[in-house]
Structure 1
Amino acid sequence: MSPRRSYDQYCSAARALDVVGDRWTLLIVRELLAGARRYTDLHADLPGVSTDVLASRLKDMERDGLTTRRRLPPPGAAYVYELTPRGRELLPVLQALGAWGQAELGERRPTDAVRAHWFALPLLRGLEGEGLVEVHLEEGVFHLWAGAEEDPVYREGPALIEPDVRLVLDADTCGALGRGELSVADAVRAGRIEVTGDGVLAKALRDE
């Protein structure tokens, strides 16, 4: 575990960056908002990070009280990492950073990796109301809890119970939402998001 570097400035922003300012740290938080993850799963969903850097960041985050590590009971018997309450408090920070970064996103480059669940946070920013939302993209399926203080915030794969609403959309629409060029309501009205379900949120989206 490397000693924590510091800006040595008596400023809350500088102190925050002492903890989360290293490369990859906030992206690890993004992945752990999906709940407990194994090291191999984190490495697979953080393309470009080396094994040494990922291991170092996870140790630093545990030292700083952002994550914990625990061993799953048999037959899993693997270690998983998860956010502490302090780590989960970074959700609005990531949301604000994502909203600010919309202008930087641009069109997807051929070298850009993508995972379906990376669109969970932009969708959360664009959904009004509460409910369990199942999202079907070309890259995969995930589900999230809109408008609720849930832990985890989202998970990969279909919902384990009947969702309030299912959304089906293509990569172009996801990109437009991520760049802030299109709202969820506008995408529904334009027929770019298919909405199914009988929940309050589904009805609200269809009526907008």
Structure 2
Amino acid sequence: MSPRRSYDQYCSAARALDLVGDRWTLLIVRELLAGPRRYTDLHADLPGVSTDVLASRLKDMERDGLTTRRRMPPPGAAYVYELTGRGRELLPVLQALGAWGQPELGERRPTDAVRAHWFALPLLRALAGEGLVEVHLEEGDFHVYAGGAAGPVYGDGRAPEEPDARLAMDTETCTDIARGALTLPDAVRAGRVAVTGDGILAKALRAA
């Protein structure tokens, strides 16, 4: 394990960057906000990261108290990485960073990778209220836990239980919402988002 590099500045921002300022670290946090993930899953959803760099970052994050590693019970028995409470506190940091970076999205470049669940955090910012929301995109399905869930913030695939709302939209609409060019209620009113479900969130969106 490599020694931690430091800015050697008595400043809370500098101390924070000592922990999360390395390339890929915050994106690993983004992935682990979905809950425990295997190394192979992390590598698949972080296109461009080398195996050596990913392994090094995970070791550093475990050393610094941001993640833990544990073995899943049989029949899986695989090792998974998950965020500690300290690591989960980075959610508002990623939310603020994503909001700040909205103007930089622009048009998608031919070299840009995309995963459906990467829209989870910007969509979470757009949701008002609490509940489980299932989202259907062309790239795939994901679900988000609106309202400050104590556990995973989002997950891949269909919701594990009956959601409070189901949203179906195309990727262009979801991108516009992520960029801040379109609000979720406006997208619903324009017919660009189909809302189904009987939960409070679904009713509120249809009534907006």
The TM-score, its normalising length taken from structure 1, stands at 0.99
1:4 correspondence with 2:4: yes
1:70 correspondence with 2:70: yes
| 1:106-185 alignment, distance < 5 Å | 106-185=106-185
- Report Cα offsets for 1:165-188 as digits up to 9, x if no partner: 000010111111111100111111
SS at match of 1:61: helix
SS at match of 2:59: helix
Percentage of pairs with the same residue? 82
- Root mean square deviation, CA, Å: 0.7
Q: Alpha-carbon deviation of 1:131? A: 1.0
Q: Distance in 2 between matches of 1:148 and 1:95?
A: 12
- Report Cα offsets for 1:143-175 as digits up to 9, x if no partner: 111113331001111112111100001011111
Q: Alpha-carbon deviation of 1:142? A: 0.8
SS at match of 1:134: strand
Point out where structure 1 has 5 or more consecutive residues left out of the alignment: none
1:198 correspondence with 2:198: yes
Q: Distance in 1 between matches of 2:199 and 2:64?
A: 40
- Report the AA paired with residue 96 of structure 1: A
Counterpart of 1:86 in structure 2 is 86
Name the stretch that deviates more: 86-95 or 168-177.
168-177
SS at match of 2:168: strand
Point out where structure 2 has 5 or more consecutive residues left out of the alignment: none
- Report Cα offsets for 1:91-118 as digits up to 9, x if no partner: 0000000000001111111110000000
Q: How many residues end up aligned between the 2 structures?
A: 208
Q: Distance in 2 between matches of 1:180 and 1:93?
A: 18
Q: Distance in 1 between matches of 2:136 and 2:198?
A: 17
In the alignment, is the contact (CA less than 8 A) between 1:107 and 1:175 conserved in 2?
no
Q: Alpha-carbon deviation of 1:75? A: 1.6
In the alignment, is the contact (CA less than 8 A) between 1:164 and 1:198 conserved in 2?
yes
- Report the AA paired with residue 58 of structure 2: L
Q: Distance in 1 between matches of 2:30 and 2:69?
A: 16
In the alignment, is the contact (CA less than 8 A) between 1:135 and 1:166 conserved in 2?
yes
- Report Cα offsets for 1:11-45 as digits up to 9, x if no partner: 00000000000000000000000000000000000
Q: Distance in 2 between matches of 1:201 and 1:148?
A: 14
In the alignment, is the contact (CA less than 8 A) between 1:131 and 1:148 conserved in 2?
no
Q: Alpha-carbon deviation of 1:74? A: 1.7
- Structure 1 residue ranges, 4+ long, deviating more than 2 angstroms after superposition: none
Counterpart of 2:33 in structure 1 is 33
SS at match of 2:195: strand
Q: Distance in 2 between matches of 1:126 and 1:203?
A: 16
Q: Distance in 2 between matches of 1:171 and 1:45?
A: 18
